[in-house]
Each structure stands twice: as C-alpha cells, then as structure tokens.
Structure 1
C-alpha cells in the first residue's frame, strides 16, 4: 500500500492539517444532523481525507466497507435512450461518484441516476442518521444544466439524502448550489504543515529524515500534501539513507512538459507545432488535466523568456485557459496557445537579431 493511503487519517481527531475544519465538522456531527456540504480547495489539500473522516465519524467503521462498481445506466434523453457507464464507490451509508465523467451527458446523470440514488434510504440506519450521503466529485466540471438539476435534487430529497460536493474551484459552481450548502474552504497546507506530516510518516516507517531534506520535498511539492508523501516514498525507493544533496523525485509528466517547452523555444514552425501537438495529446490520454498542462507549460516557458515578453505570454495563457473552460476539446486550446507563443517568440527573435 502506498504511504499516502497507509497513513491517511481515518478519524477527524487524527487529522494533522486543517484541524479547525475537522473540529467544525465534528461539532456538526455531534448535533445529530448535517447540512449539504461543499468542500473546495486545490488538489492535494486534503478534501477527500476530511470527507472520509467525516463519514466514519457519522457512521462508524461501516462507512469504510466499500465496494467499487462499474455499471451501465439507461437514462431517457427526450425521445432517445442513452446508456451511460459510471464507476461508483459505495457502502451501506454512502455513494461516491464523479458525474462529470459522463461528459456532455452529465445533466442526464444528475436528473436520473443521482435522483434515483437520492430517493433511497441507507441500508443500515446508524443511530439517528436516517439519511444517505451522496459524495459528488469535481462538481465544478459539471455543465450549468447539470448544476441546475442538482439544485432541484438537493431541495426535493433533502430528507433522505445529504449531498457532499467536492471541487477545486467554488467560483465554477453556480450560486444556487453554493447557497444551499455549508461551504468549507480547504486551503493548501503550509510548508511547515507538510514537513510535520513527512516527519510523522518517516517516524512510522522507521526512517531518519532531516529537516532540510523534508523542507526540500515540501518546497518541491508546491503545497500539495499528497504529492509530498509520494515524493518521500519515491526518494526512499531511489536511495536510503537520505543524503543532503539527493534530488527530489519529479513525476514523468512534469519532465515531459519540460521537454515540450524546450521543443517550442528551439524551433517555431508548423512541423514543430505538429510534433508538440502529438506530445500534448499523449499527456491528455494519460489523464493529466488540461488546466494543469497549460499552467505547467506556462511556468516552464516563463523560465526561458525575457522579461519584456512575460506579460504578453501570461495574457494569452489566461485567454486560452478561459476559452478551454467554455469549450469541449482541450487539445484545440492548448495547441492554439502553443501556436500563439511561437508567433510571439519568433517575432521577438526577428526584431532582436534581425
């Protein structure tokens, strides 16, 4: 088992970061009821950990006895019948799913499947908790139609079901949904908090971890706790005992983006654009989020630019990131940004060196 799962806190009392939020949730549970909840914050901050600890607090160890199902659902879309395949993780008390996996059919998932799940009571009634919990991930990626359908479901089935929504950005969730939830912001952990968790994991594994090396891992993780723990485990596999000059392991996809940035800066031509497009496709098919690809690519390109170009490049990155949120095919907007960058950079080289 990976350390990130092995040392995940199972109760709200054992949470080492976001202690205040954990106490707030514990207080909610002690009152005997729970409103709809919206957890939002950056990836790797600990949203899912808090949600699972909350479920255990509410229902005991039974919430951890889960089964994973990948089953097709038949939904009616006007005069047509669509078959949507979704992966659900469920216990006797809760169901977890990602409705945005259905793509443009997400509103039918919300209208039919989630409504069907929300109708039913939990199989086991634990104390006075007579409601089922429905955990929906990545609600910020749902279409506006799906979010409006979600609002109606929240109102109609609130007696039998509580929704726990999880997303990276609350600004992409419509006001009608946000106003019906208790909003809980999970901020990225600080460097000191990450170091504390790394020292805890190292102690449990019987490892000697110096403060300076823990600080380097925390810094390289970019305040992503999950990534920091994975990096620590990767460093342990690479070399132990740790040395002060030991490099912190980076992921393959990040190295790949460094290569893409070098390709773009070294040559600006249709042929090179076609090559870069293929590499971007490879990242997308390996499930790297397009927003993350664009952000990381921008950071790598900025390292290679003169200061006079940085403002213009940032402007166009923001422009294409916005277009990507409105559109469906991420590759079009990533390629458009690369083409725009090539145009700007080539013009700069011509003006500078003739």
Structure 2
C-alpha cells in the first residue's frame, strides 16, 4: 500500500493540517443533521481526507467496510435502450462514484442510477441520521444537463439522502447547485504545512528525512500534498538512507511531456506533428486529464520560448483549454494546440534566426 493511503488520517481528530475544518465539521455533525456539502479546492489539498473523516464522524468505523463494484445499468429511453457500466465504491451507509467517467451519458447516471440509490434508506440507522450519503467526485466535469438534473434529485430525496460533491474548479458548477450546498473551500497547503506532513509521515514509516530534502520536495510539489508524499516515497525507494543532496524524481508522465516539448522545438513538420500526436494519445489512454496535459505542455514550452513567442503560447493554451471544455474529443484540441505552436515557433525562428 502506498504511503498516501497507508498513513492517511482516518478521523477528523487525526488531521495534521486543515484542523480548523475538522473542528467545524465535528460541530456540524453534532448539531444532528448534515446539509448537502460541496468541497472545492486544487488537487492534493486534502478534500478526500476531510470527506473520509466526516463519514467516520457520522457513521463510525463501520463506514470503512467498503466494496468496489462495477455494475451495468440498463436505462430505457423513449427511443432506445442503453446500457451504462459504472464503478462504485460503497458501504452500508454511503456510495461513492464519478459520473463523469461515462462521458456524455452522465445525465442518465444522474437521472436514473442516482435516483434509484437515493430511494433506499439505510435500515439500521434511526433518528436524525437515517440518511445515506452519496459522494460524487469531479462534479465540475459533469455536463450542464447532468448538473441541472441533480437539482431536482437533491430536493426530492433530501429525507433519505445527502449529497457530498468534490471538485477542483467551482466556477464550472452551476449556481443553482452551489446554492443548495454548504460550500467549503479547501485551500492548497503552504510549503511549511507540506514539510510538517512529510515529517509526520516519515516518523510513522520509521524513516529519517533530511531537512534540505524535505524542503526540496515541498518546493517541487507545487503545493500538492499527494504529489509530495509520492515523491517522498519514491526517494525512499531509490535511496536508503536518504541524503540532503538527493534530487526528487519527477513523475514519468511529466518527463514524457518534456520530451514532447523538445520534439516541437526540434522539428516543425507534418511528420513530427504525427509523431507528437501518437505520444499525446499514449498520455490520454493512461487516463491523464487533457487539461493537465495541456497545462504542463504549455509550461514546458514557455521555459524555452523567447518572450516574443511566450505570450502567444499563453493565449493559445487558454483558448484551447476553453475548447476542451466544449468539445468531446480531447486529442483534436491538443493536436491543434501543438500544430499552432509549431507554426508560431517556425515563423518566429525564420524571422529572427533566419
């Protein structure tokens, strides 16, 4: 088991950071009822850890007895019947799912599958907590139709079900959905907080982390706690005992994106564009979000670009990031960004370098 899961805080009292949120959530639960909640913040800020602690605070340790189930759902539409396969993580008290995994069929998941789950009240729970919790991850990636469908579900089944949403970009969640939830912003941890967590995890794992290496990992983590813990464990696997001059290893996919950036500078031709497209496909089939690929590729390009071309790279990255949200095929927009950048770079190099 990875350290990020093995040493994750299980209760709100075990939190190393975000302790103020833990105290507020405990008071919320002690009031006897729990509203619909929306946790939002950057990746690696601790949203999932807070939600796990909240579930245990409500239902006790029995909520950790979970099972992973992939189930096909048959949905009858007016014109045809469709079958959607969805993976859920569930206990007797909660269900966790990611409806955006099914793409443009997510509205059917909201309309049919979630409604079916909300109708079933936990039999062994009585009193004020006789409700089931439905946890939806990446709700900001849901289509507009799916988000509007959730409005009615939240109102109709509020007696038997509470919804907890988790997302990175709250601006992509419609206003009617946000107004029905208690919104909790989980900010990215500061560098001293990341160092504090690294020291805490290292102490639990029985390893010693030099202070300079701990600071170096925190700086390269981009304030992402999940990334920092994975880098710490990678350093532990590569070298034991760890030393001050040891360099944290970047993820393989990030090094691969840096290779793509070098390919763009090396040659600007249809043949090179075709080769880059194959590498982009490889990143997508390994389940990397296209928005992350685009952002990391733009940053890798800007480290080498001249100031005259750098602002064009930023404009293009912003434009194609917007197109990614509107379109269905991510590869089209990623390839178009690469083609446009090749054109801009070649035009600049001919004009300046001859």
TM-score normalised to the size of structure 2? 0.98
Q: Deviations over 1:2-53 (max 9, x none)?
A: 1101110011111112111121111100101000000111111111111111
Instruction: Tell me what 1:171 maps to.
Output: 171
Q: 1:126 to 1:211 in 2, by over 3 A?
A: farther
Cα drift, residue 79 of structure 1: 2.3
- In structure 1, the partner of 2:11 is 11
Say if 1:217 and 1:228, in contact at 8 Å, map to a contact too.
yes
Aligned mates of 1:206, 1:72 — CA distance in 2: 44
Q: Tell me how many residue pairs correspond in the alignment.
A: 354
8 Å Cα contact 1:72/1:83 also seen in 2: yes
| SS, match of residue 70 in structure 2 | strand
Equivalent pair of 2:211/2:244 in contact (CA under 8 Å): no
State whether structure 2 residue 206 is matched by structure 1 residue 217. no
Matched, 1:323 2:323: yes
**Residues of 2 paired with 1:101 and 1:44: CA distance?**
20
Q: C-alpha displacement at 1:127, in angstroms?
A: 5.7
Q: Which moved more, 1:31-40 or 1:207-216?
A: 207-216
Report if aligned partners of 2:140, 2:173 keep a CA contact under 8 Å in 1: yes
* Whole-angstrom CA distance in 1 between matches of 2:97 and 2:271: 42
Q: Within 2, Cα distance between the matches of 1:88 and 1:126?
A: 25
1:246 aligns with 2:236: no
Q: Does 1:25 align with 2:47?
A: no
Contact (CA 8 Å) 2:3, 2:233: kept in 1 or not?
A: yes
Q: Is the 8 A contact 2:133 2:163 kept in 1?
A: yes
Secondary structure class of the residue paired with 1:128: helix
Structure 2 partner of 1:96 = 96
Identify the range of structure 1 (272-281 vs 117-126) with the bigger mean alpha-carbon deviation: 117-126
Contact persistence 1:70–1:86 (CA under 8 A): yes
By how many angstroms is 1:126 displaced? 5.8
Q: Contact 1:45 / 1:225 at 8 angstroms: preserved in 2?
A: yes
Give the equivalent residue in structure 2 for 1:336: 336
C-alpha separation between the residues in 1 aligned to 2:302 and 2:24? 41
Q: 3-state SS of the aligned residue for 2:81?
A: strand
What SS does the aligned partner of 1:79 have?
coil
Give the CA deviation at 1:123: 3.7
- Once residues 309 and 181 of structure 1 are traced to their aligned partners in structure 2, the CA distance between those partners, rounded to angstroms, is 43
**Alpha-carbon distance in 2 for matches of 1:141, 1:257:** 23
Residues 133, 162 of structure 2: 8 Å contact kept: yes
Deviations 1:75-113 (A, max 9, x none): 122221110000011111000111111111110110000
Q: Per the alignment, in what secondary structure is the counterpart of residue 129 of structure 2?
A: coil
CA RMSD of aligned residues (A): 0.9
CA contact (8 A) 2:213 2:247 kept: no
Aligned to 2:228: 228
What is the CA–CA distance in structure 1 between the aligned matches of 2:130 and 2:250, rounded to whole Å? 46
Mapping 1:150-229, distance limit 5 Å: 150-229=150-229
Contact (CA 8 Å) 1:94, 1:122: kept in 2 or not? no
**What are structure 1's unaligned runs of at least 5 residues?**
none
Residue segments in structure 2 that go unaligned for 5+ positions in a row: none
Asked whether the 8 Å contact 1:92–1:123 carries over to 2, the reply is no
| Contact persistence 1:38–1:183 (CA under 8 A) | yes
Runs of 4+ in 1 over 6 A off after TM superposition: none
Q: Counterpart of 1:125? A: 125
Q: Distance in 1 between matches of 2:11 and 2:244?
A: 35
- Map 1:268-287; keep pairs closer than 5 Å: 268-287=268-287
Distance, in Å, in 1 between the alignment partners of 2:9 and 2:126 is 22
Whether contact under 8 Å (1:75, 1:109) holds in the other structure is: no
> Secondary structure, in 3 states, of the residue corresponding to 2:297?
helix
Q: Deviations over 1:280-300 (max 9, x none)?
A: 000000001101000100111
**Separation of aligned partners in 1, 2:299 and 2:124:** 50
